[in-house]
Amino acid sequence: MSRISTTLGLFNLVLLALFVVSVAGLANGVGSGGGFTQLTGLLSLGMMAFALILATRPRWMEPGIGGLDKMYRLHKWLGIGALFAALVHWLIRGGHYRHGALGWAGGADTLFPALAGPARGLAEPLLVVMIVMVAVALARLVPYCFFRRCHVAMAGLFVVFAFHSLVLMRPALWPTPFGWATLALSVAGTVAAIDLIVRHFRGAPGSEARVVGTRYFPELKALEIELEVGADWKGHRAGQFAFVTTDAKEGAHPFTLATAWNPATRRVGFIAKELGDYTAGLRRVFRDGACARIEGPYGRFTFDDGKPRQIWIGAGIGITPFVAKLRERAGNPSGPAVDLFHAMRSVSEDALARLRADADAAGVHLHVRISARDGRLDARQIMDAVPDWKAASVWFCGPADFGDSLRKDLVAAGLSPANFHQELFEMR
């Protein structure tokens, strides 16, 4: 979480600095209330624009933030922060508009007086719509398809809020860093919004793919799917994930890749568990011969930290990135010494036999923990099984609360926080 909070904090500090520098250079200032109105407006606009840019999945940002999973978590907090700043802006700006504290009561103190009325009038009701949409985005019980449509609608809302910000900005602020930032954020956010809307109606970019094989594990309610991809798929690394689209109306869904890349066969696979409204119909959607589009790869959960000893922990369907890495090491078990812990509630003997075979071929020591039989896996069990755990890096994929608990206990016992890597595979 450190990169996420650091990026969020630095971004807002930069906007605050631009505001302070700009206001300091104005001969008459803006007044305390008016200045706070301008500041909260810039913060809200900036966080909305940044969130939209992240939603377009720019790969060049992944190294700095730590992967697309971290970018989506940052996107979530930017949305919450933008809403909070917008609410504060709305609460304080009403009185200043009505009393003319900023000279805007008649739309005179703006470069676009004819547009001042519509710019103010549109923003207030759409703020209510934004509140509802953010609530929908945070509600896990809302079906993914509805969540996706609301997100696209929020992209459209940004264009209106950018219009509001540009029209009602004081003329004295236009030639300042504040004005330049407002214009740049408005343009960048609008371009991102248009891109997201176009993707929604025309479909996501990516490589053409075809389902060439499936295998269902009824005890786990999980389906292993193999796709044959087109020539424009450039390959992937073990631990990465991709977005797969089978229906443009449903949109793209993220799946961790469960295979090592072999350009000779051009096959990619993933394992999906029946968890929600979309995944419940996986066997119907991914039938043999079905067409799909695959976009990616994304993610930085790639095991390349240079440590001679690693501990892998896959909980439930979180075993998938480790399966890919096992298969990549198969027959050539070079690299760090590895202990893999697989914690699960239910067991499929078929799936477990395949996992053991993959681990043997990769030279990885496998520890299986079935909660009904062995209890919940905890940090003490890991430390007891791997005596030199303090010298290792830990790679975790699974439920977020489980990972947070293990991180807390291992760090408290002496593990460096920088050596605990956790995949935040939650896209909403």
Residues 271 and 322 reside in one and the same domain: no
Residues 48 and 140 reside in one and the same domain: yes
Quote the mean pLDDT of the chain. 86
Query: Which amino acid is present at 98?
Result: R
Q: Which of 298, 330, 345 is the last residue of a domain?
A: 298
Q: What is the pLDDT of residue 185?
A: 97
Residue 281 scores a pLDDT above 80: no
Q: Which of 107-121, 177-191, 329-343, 359-373 has the highest mean pLDDT?
A: 177-191
Closest CA to 245 of 185, 200, 215: 200
Residues 127 and 245 reside in one and the same domain: no
Q: What's the maximum distance between 2 C-alpha atoms anywhere in the chain?
A: 76
Q: Which of 298, 318, 347 is the last residue of a domain?
A: 298
Residues 258 and 390 reside in one and the same domain: no
Q: Give the integer Cα–Cα distance in Å for 23 and 173.
A: 8
End-to-end CA distance of the chain: 16
Percent of the chain at pLDDT exceeding 70: 89
Task: Identify any residues that bridge with 256 across adjacent strands, giving them in sequence order.
Answer: 241
Q: Which of 298, 321, 349 is the last residue of a domain?
A: 298
| Domain encompassing residue 405 | 309-423
Q: Give the integer Cα–Cα distance in Å for 23 and 26.
A: 5
Q: Give the integer Cα–Cα distance in Å for 173 and 323.
A: 55
Three-class DSSP category at 340: strand
Closest CA to 224 of 256, 260, 270, 267: 270
The residue whose two tokens read 């207030």 is 124
Residues 221 and 345 reside in one and the same domain: no
Residues 142 and 92 reside in one and the same domain: yes
Q: Identify the CATH number of the domain in which residue 397 sits.
A: 3.40.50.80
Question: Residue 406's pLDDT band (boundaries 50, 70, 90)?
Answer: very high
Three-class DSSP category at 248: coil
Query: What are the tens digits of pLDDT across the range 151-199?
Result: 788 898 899 999 999 998 888 889 999 999 999 999 999 999 999 998 8
**pLDDT (average), residues 407-424:** 93
Query: What are the tens digits of pLDDT across the range 353-370?
Result: 999 999 999 999 999 999
Three-class DSSP category at 211: strand
Q: Which of 49-58, 200-209, 258-267, 396-405 has the lowest mean pLDDT?
A: 200-209
User: What are residue 171's phi and psi, to 5 degrees?
Assistant: -55, -35
Domains in the chain, number: 3
Q: What is the pLDDT of residue 272?
A: 84
Percent of the chain at pLDDT exceeding 90: 51
